[in-house]
Structure 1
Amino acid sequence: MYDFPVYVRPFVYTPPTDSLCLIAETKDYLLVDKPAGLLSVPGKTEPDCLEARVQSYCPDALTIHRLDMATSGLMIFAKTKHAQRHLGLQFEKRQTIKSYLADIAGVPRSNSGRINLPIWTDWPHRPRQMIDFEKGRPAITDWIVTESGRNSTRVCLHPLTGRSHQLRLHMLCLGHPIIGDQLYAPDEVFQQSQRLHLHAHSLKFREPTGGDWVKFKSPCPF
């Protein structure tokens, strides 16, 4: 088990008021660009979320997957039950191909690698997650450097599993927390940005009708 400091930082839900950013729409699905700071689905006391905004545009929209509130980028919503089942199974069976862009503190020693560390909920400090070799669920992330600076590095992340906070926690374990990470980064890294520098950049999947592979991208906002 990895032992990292627990940071207690104030949180107020102030979701962005950006208009819905539609990337693509077919008879089967909607592809939307989620802004950072917006919940994917309703919270216990916070009804404003991407799901609600998408359903105000398309009342029949059905949620398939989620992104962390602090993460921006591509999310897909089904427009039919058939599409929801088809796309949902692709996510469940890890048949989709996802990539994220992140800015991490410091410069890694190598230009690429694979992180294979199991993740489990840190129950006393929820919503934090932790590395636990006894109870943790398998979690694998491939990463590659795309741009290096003096004090930070941009990496492309390919999660082969879909655990909560997987990319944030794996980068922390690599020794390079993601800039702006309220939950895991030390103060000097957290304070470098007013948002988490993690963006769901691309998504490749099979069409629910016909089965052709399609790929969509969202430009990095940071």
Structure 2
Amino acid sequence: MLFHSKSRSNNTYRFSSITATLIVSLVYTVFSQAEIFKAIAQKPSTAEVTQPLQNRKAEADKLLETGTKQLDDDENEAALQSFEKALAIYREIKNRQGEGKALQKIGNTYLNQDNNEKAIEYSQASLTIAKEIKDRQLEGKSLSILGAGYKGSNNYNKALECQQQALGIAREIKNGELESHALRRIGRIYYAQQNYQQSLAVAKQINNIKLKGYALR
């Protein structure tokens, strides 16, 4: 009789332990699911993530456009500020193409200010990105500005090398504006080297009357 009572007590204990274990497991599962649902609910949707990025890119693109107009109007300091703001945004949203364009524009602005050292620095950075993302137009523009910076620093060999590369890219992608810039700058390099015949030959290719005059002196 005593043995039977003890056995029943053990069974009751085992049952209680199993029940407690099941309850704890159930509570843990429910709690975990609740946390998962909470995390899913709090996680921003793809659209919510994409929209701010698109807005920031549009803001940077607008700054780039504004800076270009300011540069055309010889408002160099204002243009520089616009391009630097655009650069910061492109880097923030990790847009490499925009970053490369902004760097190229900054380099061009420094070139306008006769700051050849800075023009070389920024156009070289732009060139690195252009090659990385395989943007041939950006590569050509960066090379042309880089070459102009070298020419301003009296490094004519490097200047000529950069402009010839830019010219090759311009013809490859059929960009007439870039081709004209590269040819004009090549002509100026030849003139600075007192290679007047070469300067004249280049001038004839672009029908640059002013450059022809320089070459004939």
TM-score, length-scaled by structure 2: 0.28
Higher RCO by CA contacts (8 Å cutoff, separation 6 or greater): 1
Structure of greater Rg: 2
Greater helix content: 2
